Every structure is written in C-alpha cells, then in structure tokens.
Structure 1
Amino acid sequence: MRSLDQIERNIEKIQVPAWGWVVAVEGVVPWLVVDSSGRPVEPIQRYLRDFLAQGNRPGSVRSYAYDLLRWWRWLRTVGVEWDKATSAEVRDLVLWLRQASKPRSSPRTSSAATAGTVNPITRKRYLGDQYEPTTIRHSNAVLRAFYEFWVEIGEGPLASPVPLQRMRGRRPNAHHNPMEPYRAEGRLRYNPKVPKRRPRALTDERWNGLFGAMRWHRDRAILAMGISNAARASELLGLRGNRHRLG
C-alpha cells in the first residue's frame, strides 16, 4: 500500500459524476442511498439503520445519507472501494470540496446577484455556490461515524480512514479512567477552520421601527419579554396566538 505522501491526484481536473440518489422509502429507515440501478447501497443501508436506532431523527438520517452518497461518488471517481479507502481519499475529497462548485439542477436566476453576499437587514449570509467549511466538517464527521461503525462490528476496514489531528504536547488518554472505555481525542485532521462571525443584531433605528409596528400592547409585551430573556429568533417567530374567552 502506498503511503499518504505518495498519492497525488490532480484535484482541479477531477469531475465527480452524478451517480446514485437519496430516496425516501416506506419502512423503518425512511431514507436510503441507491445506486444507478435503483438498488440500495448495502453498507450505507446497514449503517443508517443502526444510526436511526440510536434515536436520531429522520432529518438527520437524510442529511447523513447525502454525505455518504457524495463519498460513494468520490470513491467511484478515484477508483477505490469503500472498505479500502485511506486517509488520502479523505484528504483529497476535502481539497476537492474546497475548490469545487455545488451541483445545481438549473442555473441561478434572481438569486445569482445575492449568492455569497450578506443581507443588509438581517446580516445573514446567503449561501454561495461553493461548499462551506461547515459542510466539509459535517462530511468528515459523518464519514468518521460511518467507519467507526464498521470498525466496531469487525466487517469493514481495520481502522478508520478519517484521522484525528496529531496530539502535540500531551499523550492521548493521559488521564484515562480504567473503569471506562478509551475514547478518541482531538479534532478531525482535515477539518477546515470556520471563520468567527460577529453576532447579528438590529440597529436601534430598526428596533424602534419593529416595536412601533406592533398593533397591540400585548404583542409589544411579548416581544419585549422575549428580547429581555435572550430568546432565539426562531422561538419568537414560532409563537402562535391562542385566544380564549373568559366565561
């Protein structure tokens, strides 16, 4: 087997074809990854079944399925079987994701002007055409969990191809409790750094405008209470009125 530094690929010229799909199905596992013939990819199917049994939500199953589909497409492109993958394949996938554009079923129209920019009112960044660092980090976490499952049951590779960052200055599990199992320590080696963003906030002018637009004192009181208690925007937007008549 070649070492990590001996595997070199021309990342810029790699084109990953659209192979397979994530499909919704009726049954215990609500989402599956199928190949180009419509047959479930068995290693992914078995893992997602165990993942769901751990109490994870169907939405998380769908998210993991898409990351594993991308991984299968990548392995087919570079000609490596899933149980023969090494950290070189993970490393090169990260490099490819950092410079590739996300596939789209149709070109952007009205959203082309705002892609990757920041909304001047909400200060929220519109999604661009490139893969975000958080997307790459999620992909690495999914692959790590997938291979840990197969390593644990002894039917996959002997070790996970998703490596941890080398520890500097201290020994892993240096203060390990002998009554507990060993746990992996450290961040994933190929995780990109996520830029720190300043908290979004309304200006005083916009806050006064929002507060003044309320028609009822009740609504102003609810908004003021939510802000004073540091409620999330999603919590405030999810409030629904329920009027009761007093007897």
Structure 2
Amino acid sequence: MPWLVFDEEAKAVEPIRRFLVDFVARDNRPGSVRSHAFDLLRWWRWLRVIQVDWDRATSAEVRDSVLWLRVATKPRTSSLGTCGRPYGTPCKHEHACIRCPVLQMDPRQKPRLIEIIQNLRERIREARANGWLGEVEGLQVSFDAAIYKGFGTLLQP
C-alpha cells in the first residue's frame, strides 16, 4: 500500500486503509491515491478535533469542515520562503513570488536570492541592448522587488 493514514498511536486508520486498498485495486493513478490519502487525513484530523467518531459524522460535520477549510490559513511555500496569503485566495503573482509583498523570505535562501538578482541584472542588460523596453520594465519590477526582499533578508544576522 503506497499511502496510509496513521492515528495518534501510529496505527493505520482501518476505515481509511480499506478505502485506499479498494481505490488502488481499481487502478487509480498513484497521484490520485496520494491526493485522496491527504484529504482523508485532513478529514480524520478534523473529526478528532471536533470529537466525532468517523462512523457518526453527518453532513453537518462535512459542511463545517468545508467552511473551516475556506477560512483557515495555510502556509504556502515557494523556493524562497513562505507565502502569507490566506488559504484559498487567488494570487496575482503566480510564478513570480519575488514580486509578492506577502512572501516571507527564508534566510537560508540568501544564495538563491543573490542568484536571482544577478540573473535579473543580466536579463535587464540584454533587454536594453536589444531594445525590448516592455521586457526591461517587467524585469525591473522583479529586480526592484528582489533587492527589497534581499535587504530585508540579507541584513538579518
């Protein structure tokens, strides 16, 4: 069994194990099995928190769980740190985290940030040399944000 959910005593949660065994037997893709296992782990933890046995849960617990997931904050990570956006909110900086004001830099990523700054500097030079003014403008926004994040990160002890 590639994915199992364990309880507080490190024992496999039997109803979830049975479901996952059946799910695997139906030739579902490994990614789907993993996704379902994580969803069931989340559900199992929710039931523990609200102190409801899995076989006593009703649609009211499902509703409350969904509502909680919509408002709960969940740290999102990028290669540079943690995103401070609330869970379930859209991001206009998708794949451009360096521009995002809520990115909390991980100090261990200083070398990576320096690489990004150097790369952006080189790309700005190339864009200027080729007359790509729109590209220069976009790269400059990213460069300025990287410098801003860098000073906040690089000046930490």
Could you state the TM-score of these two structures normalised by the residue count of structure 2?
Answer: 0.51
Q: 2:50 aligns with which of 64, 78, 83?
A: 78
- The structural deviation recorded for 1:102 is 1.6
Is 1:58 aligned with 2:30? Answer: yes
CA-to-aligned-CA distance 1:89-121 (integer Å, 9 cap, x gap)? 0110111111101257xx889445795532488
Any stretches of 5+ residues in structure 2 without a counterpart? 104-131, 136-157
Q: Which structure would you say has the larger Rg?
A: 1
Q: 2:71 aligns with which of 99, 107, 117?
A: 99
- Taking a change above 3 Å as real, the CA distance of residues 80 and 103 of structure 1, as seen in their structure-2 partners, is farther
In the TM superposition, what are the counterparts of 1:1-247 in structure 2 within 5 Å?
Answer: 29-102=1-74, 110-112=80-82, 117-119=91-93
Could you state the TM-score of these two structures normalised by the residue count of structure 1?
Answer: 0.34
Q: Which amino acid aligns with 1:118?
A: K
- The structural deviation recorded for 1:58 is 1.6
Contact 2:75 2:83 in 1 (8 A): no
CA-to-aligned-CA distance 1:29-48 (integer Å, 9 cap, x gap)? 21100112211000000000
Q: Which amino acid aligns with 2:92?
A: V
Aligned residue pairs: how many?
97
Q: Which amino acid aligns with 2:7?
A: D
- After superposition, the CA RMSD in angstroms is 3.5
Contact 2:75 2:82 in 1 (8 A): no
Once the two structures are overlaid, the 10-residue window that deviates more, 109-118 or 60-69, is 109-118
Give, in whole Å, the separation in 2 of the partners of 1:113 and 1:71.
24
Give, in whole Å, the separation in 1 of the partners of 2:49 and 2:40.
14
Q: Report SS of the residue matched to 1:97.
A: helix
- Taking a change above 3 Å as real, the CA distance of residues 96 and 39 of structure 1, as seen in their structure-2 partners, is same
* Structure having the larger proportion of residues in helix: 2
Identity of aligned residues (%): 55
Give, in whole Å, the separation in 2 of the partners of 1:46 and 1:101.
31
Any stretches of 5+ residues in structure 1 without a counterpart? 1-28, 130-205, 210-247
Give, in whole Å, the separation in 1 of the partners of 2:29 and 2:71.
31
- Taking a change above 3 Å as real, the CA distance of residues 57 and 108 of structure 1, as seen in their structure-2 partners, is closer
